[in-house]
Amino acid sequence: MFSTAQRQQIATVLSIAADCTIATVRPDGWPHATTVSFIADGLSIYFGTWSKSQKAQNIAADARVSVTVNAPYTDWNAIQSVSIAAHAKRVTDAAELERVFALMVGKFPQVGQFVNAGDAEMAIFRIDPEIVSILDYRKGFGHTELAAA
Q: Is 10 exposed, middle or buried (0-12, 13-18, 19+ CB in 10 A)?
A: buried
Domain that holds residue 90: 4-148
pLDDT tens profile 37-88:
999 999 999 999 999 999 999 999 999 999 999 999 999 999 999 999 999 9
Model confidence at 112: pLDDT above 90: no
pTM score of the predicted model: 0.92
**Domains of the chain: total:** 1
Q: What phi-psi label fits residue 142: left (phi over 0), alpha (psi between -120 and 50 degrees) or beta?
A: left
Rounded to whole angstroms, what are the CA distances from 51 to 11, 30, 58, 61, 70? 27, 21, 11, 13, 26
Q: CATH no. for residue 65?
A: 2.30.110.10
pLDDT-derived band at 119 (thresholds 50, 70, 90) equals low
